[in-house]
Amino acid sequence: MKKIAVLISNKGTGTNLQAIINGVESGKIPAKIAAVISDTPEAQGLTRAKKHRLPIKIVPKKEGLSAVLKKLNPDYICLAGWKQIILDEVIEAFPNRILNVHPGLIPDTMDGVVKNPDGTNGLWNKGKMTDKAMQNFFDNKATYAGSSIHFLTLEFDFGPVLGRGFEEIRRGDTVESLYSRLKIKENKLYAEVLAKLCSSQTVLIIDGGGRGSVLVDKYGQSEQIGKILVIPGNDLMQINTKKPVMTYQHLKTTSVDEILEICQKEKVDLVDVAQDNAVEVGLVDKLQKNKIPVVGPTRLAGQIEWDKGWSRDFMRKYQIAHPKYYVFSTEKDGIKFAEESENPKWFVKAAGLAEGKGVIPAENKKDVINAIKQMSKFGSSGKTYLLEEWLTGEEFSAFAICDGKTFKLVGFAQDHKRVDDGDQGPNTGGMGCVSSPLIVDKNIKSQIEEIFKKAMAGLKKEKRPYQGVLYLGGIVVGGKTYVIEFNARWGDPEAEVIVPSIKNDLFDLSKVIISGRIKDFDVRTDNKVRVAVAGAAKGYPVDYSKVKGKKVLGIDKAMQTGVKIYGAGIKKIDGDFVVNGGRVLYMVAEGKNIMDAREKAYKAMKLIKIEGDNLHYRKDIGWRDVERMRNPERAKRVEGERLKNDTKS
């Protein structure tokens, strides 16, 4: 059960406090009032607190509030007529936990406007208190007055809005008559907001980029979720949801002990581990040991991604089709093999995690040797490396949700790894992708299902039951599917086109994964085609330092076109979004087919600029399916020509 602290003073009559008390006693607010805190013993609300035998604390100086609240550690702190300034240290200690009532209509964004029920613009009343706020409604000839309940932030009279109340202004109204009616609605709204917060769930997402952003969006659509925490997160994540989003950008996804501490302090109801290196360090194991519900594979199950040598041996053992491969642990041995091999073309791949950049295509012996020498730049991830057979075909990725016993497919995508159009330039983490690629026909889908069956059975037999999202990176060669790699999480940017297609409540789906009930769960997806285009800083993936810190412009304009924007390497400084990483953001559009979705995505992407420059993005995302749609016969010829330049991800 949640704990509430209510802060009052002698400024009001205690009606908001009484509404909260009534909600708690009736059971509508599933919480207990840990204390009623006043800055003076003369507050009228204390009479109400005494009548209901509630704990009372008197804190006359604002400097003393922090210590009292930290000792109580309430889930939510309700300002109900509190007249003292709340110090920054208190707001920072209880982010997205302090509720305030503002006598005006706070917008969702700093430059936004709230619409009244009749379509007129509502008044923010920023900086105005009760009577002055009511008078401002009259002075501006407003048709409606209103109040907002929001989370307190360091930004004055602004923060995530949890509820709004409107009251129509009548002819002959006075400040007193208007506020008395609005106050009744305000009391009711406060109780309703608290009831929803206290009965809702808190989810923690482990990721910082576009994948984490789309998960924030999807969990935010759940009526069951009240608050979303993200480690490390980014500053654009709040844009797609009205649910409060709290990021911990000072932490790494591998900060296991700190993550556990946050889970316990914030009473997290579910953790979604979406980052590969968090799986490798055993975050899931640690959370499970401490009885915290978590979606994601254990370290042993996740070895199918973080140790590519082990993964290849696993595929060979369980007869999963894969390229021929050789594993080396010294530079000398790999070079000797390359020099003696009759095959001049290989993919040189770091065995460990390398942020999607650990694969170097080499078309001759000289390139192979150079690639082997580059493995050292990946640190411990490149100490062991693989030489893999160069397969010529078309790539795709498939995603399944797994509960340790069985699985269900949830979607397919096609990533574009190379940085430039025409699949040219170095590999990146992904420059964009499309959902439901046409390469995945009935025959290929049947092969994919068989591969997942073998993988799940094999992991179970190895006593590594897999629970979470399993990603199959495949390549079709002559009608046969080979596994390039398995990943132990959603892909990025594949998640940006697959997750939105899921029609189920993601919180429900996560609980089904944890409880092992996927077999009987109806996973529903839509039939829309989605295109994600990555907007990158110029110089990515090699050196984008000249662009870092520059303003990102046009986000609001792009959003107005109906697309989704998922932040990645982006930060907010002094009210402006700035470049903070190589892949800055993703533009995601949906449509009835590839042409429709792609047109929308590129139309919106043209509106985004970097101060003094442009974002770098590929102009040909989804080119294979576009060719197929326009001219199936020509597409076959084009495919045959371009396969010569195709590379594995």
Could you give the CA distance from residue 406 to residue 465 in angstroms, rounded to a whole number? 10
pLDDT tens-digit series, residues 172-225:
999 999 999 999 999 999 999 999 999 999 999 999 999 999 999 999 999 999
- Mean pLDDT computed over 555-572: 95
Show the DSSP H helices in 221-359 as ranges: 256-265, 276-280, 283-289, 303-306, 308-317, 331-340
The mean per-residue pLDDT over the stretch 475-483 comes to 96
Greater confidence, 633 or 180? 180
Return the structure tokens found at 214: 């789309």
Measure the CA–CA gap between 569 and 121, rounded to whole angstroms. Answer: 34
**pLDDT, mean of residues 519-526:** 94
Residue 637 has pLDDT above 80, yes or no: no
- Grouping H, G, I as helix, E, B as strand and the rest as coil, residue 538 is coil
Helix axes 210-220, 506-515, angle to 10 degrees: 100
Q: What is the pLDDT of residue 109?
A: 82
Residue 25 burial (CB < 10 Å; 0-12/13-18/19+)?
exposed
Q: What does the pLDDT read at residue 163? A: 94
| Nearest by Cα to 608 from 582, 577, 580, 574 | 577
Looking at residue 547, its pLDDT comes to 92
Rounded mean pLDDT of 35-54? 96
Specify the pLDDT at position 645: 45
Give me the pLDDT at residue 639, please. 53
Identify the pLDDT of residue 181.
96
- Compute the distance between CA of residue 285 and CA of residue 292 in angstroms, rounded to an integer: 10
Pick 356 or 156 by higher pLDDT. Answer: 156
What's the mean per-residue pLDDT of the chain?
Answer: 93
The pair phi, psi for residue 3, each rounded to 5°, is: -115, 140
Query: Given strand 245-247, what is the order of strands in its sheet?
Result: 245-247, 225-232, 201-207, 270-273, 294-295
Question: What pLDDT score does 636 carry?
Answer: 64
pLDDT of residue 22 exceeding 70 = yes
Using one digit for the tens of pLDDT, what is the confidence trace for 278-287? 999 999 999 9
Tell me the per-residue pLDDT of 578-608, one tens digit each, with 9 for 90 and over: 999 999 999 999 999 999 999 999 999 999 9
Q: What is the pLDDT of residue 38?
A: 96
Mean pLDDT of 2-28: 94
CA pair distance 604, 565, nearest whole angstrom:
10
By DSSP bridging, strand 270-273 and strand 325-328 are unpaired
| 3 state SS for 32-92 | EEEEEEECCCCCCHHHHHHHCCCCEEECCCHHHHHHHHHHHCCCEEEECCCCCCCCHHHHH
Write out pLDDT tens, residues 335-361. Answer: 999 998 988 889 999 999 887 778 888
**Helix axis angle, 130-139 to 175-199, nearest 10°:** 120
The band of 575, judged by pLDDT with boundaries at 50, 70 and 90, is: confident
Instruction: Over range 84-103, report the average pLDDT.
Output: 94
Q: What is the dihedral of CA 207, 209, 215, 219, to 10 degrees?
A: 80
> What structural domains does the chain harbor?
2-199 (3.40.50.170), 201-295 (3.40.50.20), 395-527 (3.30.470.20), 528-644 (3.90.600.10)
What's the pLDDT score for residue 638?
A: 53
CA distances from 314 to 1, 320, 397, 455 (A): 46, 8, 19, 9
Q: How much is the pLDDT for 648?
A: 40
For the entire predicted model, the pTM comes to: 0.84
- Under the banding of pLDDT at 50, 70 and 90, the label for residue 244 is confident
* 150, β-bridge pairs: 100, 161
State CA 606 to chain mean position distance.
24
**Quick check: 107 pLDDT over 50?**
yes
What's the rounded mean pLDDT across residues 619-633?
89
pLDDT of 649 reads: 36
d(CA 592, CA 643): 27
pLDDT band at 634 (very low <50, low <70, confident <90, very high): low
Report pLDDT digits (tens) over 311-340. Answer: 999 999 999 999 999 999 999 999 999 998
Alpha carbons 6 and 49: distance in angstroms, whole number = 10
Specify the pLDDT at position 640. Answer: 60
The amino acid occupying position 261 is E
Q: Which residues contact 142 (CB under 8 A, 6 or more apart)?
A: 116, 120, 122, 123, 169
Which one-letter DSSP state was computed for residue 121? B
Confidence of residue 647 (pLDDT cuts 50, 70, 90): very low
Judged by DSSP in three states, 133 sits in helix
pLDDT, tens digit, for every residue of 392-439? 999 999 999 999 999 999 999 999 999 999 999 988 989 999 999 999
- Strand 161-168 with 144-151, pairing: antiparallel
The helix (run of H) or strand (run of E) holding residue 165 is strand 161-168
Asked if residues 364 and 345 have their Cβ atoms less than 8 Å apart, the reply is yes
